[in-house]
Structure 1
Amino acid sequence: MKFLLFACAFLTVLSAVYGAVAIQLADPDHPGHCYSDEFGQMNYGDEKTLENCVRAFCSDDGTISLASCGLIAAPCGSIPGDLSKPYPDCCHKAKSCE
């Protein structure tokens, strides 16, 4: 029984931190800030939550890092995220097995 509880806790933590990360290189046609055709201009240090709970962060070198929640495969299911909230509060949450 202890192993089952440990496995549930481990998988819950693992599923909560497993997400996707991508980097968009700096656009040489837009120096001095970050730019993307998808969501426009961002100033260095700016952060935006995009549709589907994706976070975009503008780095000082003009690159944009994108992070998403990833998939949750929790043993006891998940609670849908609230897309009206900023990242990461908009992500799905793992249900407790208790």
Structure 2
Amino acid sequence: MCSKSNSFVAVLAFIVIMLTIKNEVHGAVFSQRAYIHPGHPGKCFNPLTYKAMLPDKEYKVKGVCAVMTCDIENLEIAIETCPVIDMPGCVEIPSDLSWSFPKCCPRYRCEDFKTGEPVIFDATSF
């Protein structure tokens, strides 16, 4: 009977940890105005990169783990970045920015509050 109780407590603790992390993960989507360039009709022109973007195609941002997408109907460029875990006991594990989004997003090493053991989380899986 005691082992069933311990198993239940362990499962309950795991669920609480996952729900806590789920509530503390914040990805960001920024938007900027897109322009129409006469030399690139039907495309968004990005004034920051001076490049034309095809609608609904994902573009990698050099040196940053993010992706840009052109919404031609709304003349908007969406920039999606990695989620961030903002939780005590968690440390960011840097990733390789040459990988495509979201694989380039960092992972996090968090300490299990009950056992003290490290647990690795991929923030994009939440």
Task: Specify the TM-score bucket, using the shorter chain as the normaliser.
Answer: 0.7 to 0.9
**Unaligned 5+ runs, structure 1:** none
Q: Cα RMSD between the aligned structures?
A: 2.5
Across the two proteins, how many residue pairs are aligned to each other?
97
Q: Which residue of 2 aligns with 1:10?
A: 19
Larger Rg belongs to:
2
TM-score, length basis structure 1: 0.73
Of 53-62 and 82-91, deviating more is: 53-62
| CA distance in structure 1 between the partners assigned to 2:23 and 2:31 by the alignment | 23
Identity %: 25
User: TM-score w.r.t. structure 2 length?
Assistant: 0.60
Is residue 2:81 matched to residue 1:73? no
1:87 aligns with 2:87: no
Q: Which has the higher contact order (CA 8 A, sep 6+)?
A: 1
CA contact (8 A) 1:12 1:94 kept: no
Higher share of residues assigned strand: 2
